[in-house]
Amino acid sequence: MTARTPSTPPPAEGISRVAEDFLKAIWSATEWGGAPITGKALAERFGTTAANVSDTIRRLTAQGLVSHEPYKPVRLTTAGERHAVAMVRKHRLIESFLVRTLGYSWEEVHDEAENLEHAVSETMIERIDALLGHPDRDPHGDPIPAADGTSPHPEHAVNLTDASPGSYEVTRISDDDPAILRLLAGHGLRPGSMITVGTRDASSSSIPLEYNDGGLASLPSDAAAALWLVGRG
Amino acid sequence: MTARTPSTPPPAEGISRVAEDFLKAIWSATEWGGAPITGKALAERFGTTAANVSDTIRRLTAQGLVSHEPYKPVRLTTAGERHAVAMVRKHRLIESFLVRTLGYSWEEVHDEAENLEHAVSETMIERIDALLGHPDRDPHGDPIPAADGTSPHPEHAVNLTDASPGSYEVTRISDDDPAILRLLAGHGLRPGSMITVGTRDASSSSIPLEYNDGGLASLPSDAAAALWLVGRG
DNA sequence: CAAAAAAGTTAAGTTAGCTTAACTTAGCGC
DNA sequence: GCGCTAAGTTAAGCTAACTTAACTTTTTTG
Ligand SMILES: [Mn+2]
Ligand SMILES: [Mn+2]
Ligand SMILES: [Mn+2]
Ligand SMILES: [Mn+2]
């Protein structure tokens, strides 16, 4: 066996499942204009401890995938961002594939994709992409990065939480929380739905909506935060 | 944290990827009438050391999945066999799915399935099974165990290495070695092919074949060992 | 601004899975 | 049966990923 000099960077054998999920989470935090993610948020996202997050961030830093100053939020390096975008591409293509070929509903694909994204080969991803005709949105309305890492930049969307009264089209629905997805699906809301945002009642945190067909509803603010809209006059 | 009594069996949280592959390998050794597998064979199969195999077998034994006396071959317990058959079912259904829906060729599916089998949910496997119409053979001719663990017992097959001269149908082709699969595919041999086995030349270890269409070929013995036949006249 | 709370780090310990090295056992060949 | 060799085990040590506990830094807040 060839002795390995301790100072030599790790052989970059491949990137672990945990590392892949971290990179994706760090990237996702800023996808819709949010601030760089904190250790606390990462710990909550993965149901683990702050100590474990520090440890994992240290390993990712050693691999040159993230940059991190103590007590500051975490950022991706160029290499880290490349890997992150590749994972997002896999995740969203897999979701699209499951809906199209296996009849998954758009509120159940996320968990399955969360596992499969770490197991599919590049070859398989490109075949899925070709079979689906190179889609540019996943079932939740999220843009699918191209194989070269470029992202189709979607029309500027506003969060329902920040939307002033008026007519909108739902362009994306965050797939983070399955319970919220089921709630929204129950309201008939999906990417492409047309809605009218009403005037907020100061005494309540929920947001009044009117649907195309005249139906009325009121969404709690956590569900509203999952909806992204573009104005439709 | 609740203290765990040392004698309590492990919580069977879930079964690791390494454990799943070991169970599958142990089961596969006896699928076509072979002897229970040895540690040496397991080490070769996974490209690891005998020491690591001993270690892994120890863990599997502690989990109640295999039974093992020192210096003896490894056997599955009832629980181990149940898990092994479930993995084989996943592997073969995934191979079938990749061929059918993504246009994989039967000589390239194995490696992809080797990874995906650890990532797909029960739900996804059952949907694949339904989509494919509950197939009972995979692309290599291997029987696909049913969801309840029962295996369709195929017509008794003989290995080409042991076949006396005569007419046969190829019923299965072992998918262990990709190089051999490519060689056989190059000869036009696949499950369902009809062949005539010629008389062996004592001076050579290769086996003479005649195809349906009159073509002649001669297979080296390692390739011949991958072919399983049933007599046809 | 100082104290309290929240966030982050460090330290120590665990397990699975791997390595190399040293040793033991089993199965012959003679 | 004796001794060689192949197979198997044991020992020691490593990394990634996790835990709890103790501590430090930053942020909030009265
Ligand atoms: Mn994931
Ligand atoms: Mn999605
Ligand atoms: Mn596998
Ligand atoms: Mn197969």
Interface of A with B in 125-154 (CB under 8 A): 127-128, 131
Which residue from A103, A119, A123 is facing B119, i.e. has the nearest CB? A119
For nucleotide C25, the protein residue with its alpha carbon nearest to C1' is B71
Residues 58-77 of chain A within 7 A of strand D, judged by CB, are 59, 70-71
Query: B208: which strand partners?
Result: B218
- This prediction has a pTM of 0.92
Q: What count of Cα atoms within 13 Å lies in the side-chain half-sphere of residue A60?
A: 31
What is the DSSP code string of chain A? -PPPPTTSPP------HHHHHHHHHHHHHTTTSPPPPPHHHHHHHHT--HHHHHHHHHHHHHTTSEE--TTS--EE-HHHHHHHHHHHHHHHHHHHHHHHHH---TTTHHHHHHHHTTT--HHHHHHHHHHTT--SB-TTS-B---TTS----PPP-EEGGGPPSEEEEEEEE--S-HHHHHHHHHTT--TT-EEEE-PPPTT-SSEEEEETTS-EEEE-HHHHTTEEEEE--
Task: Tell me the mean pLDDT in the region A129-157.
Answer: 93
Range in A156-160, B70-74, B139-143 with the lowest mean pLDDT = A156-160
CA–CA dist B52, B197 (Å, integer): 42
How many C-beta atoms surround the C-beta of residue A52 within 10 A? 14
Residues of A whose CB is below 8 A from B123: 112
Question: For residue B101, what is the nearest residue in chain A, using CA coordinates?
Answer: A101
CA–CA dist B170, B96 (Å, integer): 18
List, in order, residues 6 or more apart from A76 with CB less than 8 Å away. Answer: A23, A26, A27, A65, A66, A67, A84
Q: Which of the 8 DSSP states describes residue A106?
A: T
Burial of A82 (0-12, 13-18, 19+ CB in 10 A): middle
What's the confidence (pLDDT) of residue B4? Answer: 34
Check if B101 contacts A (Cβ < 8 Å): yes
Could you read off the pLDDT of A63-73 as tens digits, one per residue? 999 999 999 99
CA distances (Å), A35 to each of A30, A74, A144, B165, in order? 6, 10, 21, 74
Mutate one of A91, A102, A125 to test the B interface: name it (highest B CB count within 10 A).
Answer: A102
CATH 2.30.30.90 domain position(s) in chain A: 158-231
What's the confidence (pLDDT) of residue A10? Answer: 45
CB A103 within 8 A of CB A125: no
A23 touches strand D (CB under 7 A): no
Could you read off the pLDDT of B52-68 as tens digits, one per residue? 999 999 999 999 999 99
For nucleotide C6, the protein residue with its alpha carbon nearest to C1' is A40
The correct CATH number of A1-153 out of 1.10.10.10, 2.40.240.10, 3.10.450.350, 1.10.3720.10 is: 1.10.10.10
pLDDT band at A12 (very low <50, low <70, confident <90, very high): low
**CATH code for the structural domain at A158-231:** 2.30.30.90
CATH 1.10.10.10 domain position(s) in chain A: 1-153
Q: How far is A122 from chain B (nearest CA, A)?
A: 10
pLDDT band at B213 (very low <50, low <70, confident <90, very high): confident
- Could you tell me how far CA A129 lies from the centroid of its own chain? 19
What's the confidence (pLDDT) of residue B1? Answer: 34
B51 touches strand C (CB under 7 A): yes
Main-chain phi, psi angles of A87, to 5 degrees = -70, -40
Nearest to A145 by CA among A191, A84, A98: A84
Comparing B216 with A39, the larger pLDDT belongs to A39
Q: For residue B176, which ligand has an atom nearest its CA?
A: 4
- Could you tell me how far CA A193 lies from the centroid of its own chain? 20
DSSP-based three-state secondary structure for A66: strand
Check if A101 contacts B (Cβ < 8 Å): yes
Q: Judge whether residue B74 has pLDDT over 90.
A: yes
Distance A44 CA to C4 C1' (A): 23
Question: For residue B111, what is the nearest residue in chain A, using CA coordinates?
Answer: A121
CB B53 within 8 A of CB B39: yes
In strand C, the nucleotides that come within 7 Å of a protein beta carbon are 6-12, 16-22, 25-26
